[in-house]
Amino acid sequence: MAEQPNGTSCRLLAPKHTRTLSAQPLSSRKSHRPQRGVSPPTRTNLLNAKVVANFRATVALQLPDDGGVEKGYPTQNLPLLVAGDEVRCWREDGMLRVHELVTRRSVLERADRHWVKPLAANLTHLGIVSANPPGIDTLLIDQFCVAASQAGVSALIIFNKCDRLTAEERTQVDALIAVYKRIGYPAVMVDTKTPNGIQPLFDELASRSITLVGASGVGKSSIIQKLLPDRELRIGAVSKATGLGSHTTSVTYWYQLLEGGSIIDSPGVRQFSVSHFDEKSVREGFYELFDLSDECRFGNCTHTVEPGCAVLTALQAGHIEQFRYDNYCKLITPSD
Ligand SMILES: Nc1nc2c(ncn2[C@@H]2O[C@H](COP(=O)(O)OP(=O)(O)O)[C@@H](O)[C@H]2O)c(=O)[nH]1
Ligand SMILES: [Mg+2]
Ligand SMILES: [Zn+2]
pLDDT at residue 72, rounded to an integer? 94
Q: Which residues are close to ligand 2, an ion, with C-beta < 5 A? A: 221
Residue 59: pLDDT over 90: yes
Distance 249 CA to ligand 2 centre (A): 11
pLDDT at residue 222, rounded to an integer? 95
Confidence of residue 3 (pLDDT cuts 50, 70, 90): very low
Confidence of residue 306 (pLDDT cuts 50, 70, 90): very high
List, in sequence order, every beta strand (DSSP E) within 66-145.
Answer: 69-74, 86-92, 95-101, 107-111, 116-121, 125-131
What are the percentages of helix, strand and coil residues in the chain, rounded to 5? 30, 25, 45
Tens of pLDDT along 60-82? 999 987 668 999 999 988 999 99
CB 286 within 8 A of CB 324: yes
Residue 83 amino acid letter: A
pTM of the model: 0.84
What is residue 236's three-state secondary structure?
A: helix
Confidence of residue 114 (pLDDT cuts 50, 70, 90): confident
Higher-confidence residue of 57 and 276: namely: 57
Relative to beta strand 154-160, strand 125-131 is parallel
Confidence of residue 270 (pLDDT cuts 50, 70, 90): low
pLDDT at residue 65, rounded to an integer? 72
With CA atoms as reference, report the closest residue to 21 among 80, 84, 89, 77.
77
Residue 140: Cβ within 10 Å count = 21
Tens of pLDDT along 199-241? 999 999 999 999 999 988 999 999 999 999 998 888 888 888 8
The percentage of residues in the chain with a pLDDT greater than 70, rounded to a whole number, is 80
Higher-confidence residue of 37 and 185: namely: 185
Residue 131: pLDDT over 50: yes
Distance 223 CA to ligand 3 centre (A): 39
Which residues have CB under 8 Å from 308's CB, separation 6+?
A: 296, 297, 298
Mutate to test the pocket of ligand 1, among 162, 222, 271 (most ligand atoms within 8 A of CB): 222
Least confident of 19-28, 102-111, 265-274, 314-323: 19-28
How much is the average pLDDT of 186-204? 97
Higher-confidence residue of 203 and 26: namely: 203
pLDDT at residue 229, rounded to an integer? 93
Handedness of CA 31, 35, 39, 44 (dihedral sign): negative
Give alpha helix (H) positions in the chain: 138-151, 167-183, 199-205, 220-227, 231-242, 267-270, 279-285, 287-290, 310-316, 322-332
pLDDT at residue 37, rounded to an integer? 45
Give alpha helix (H) positions in 29-186: 138-151, 167-183
Handedness of CA 274, 212, 182, 318 (dihedral sign): negative
Q: How far apart are CA 43 and CA 118, in angstroms?
A: 27
How are strands ordered across the β-sheet holding 116-121? 9-13, 107-111, 116-121
Structural domains of the chain, with CATH: 119-225 (3.40.50.300), 279-332 (1.10.40.50)
What is residue 206's three-state secondary structure?
A: coil
Distance 95 CA to ligand 2 centre (A): 36
| Closest residue to atom 5 of ligand 1, CA basis | 161
Confidence of residue 250 (pLDDT cuts 50, 70, 90): confident
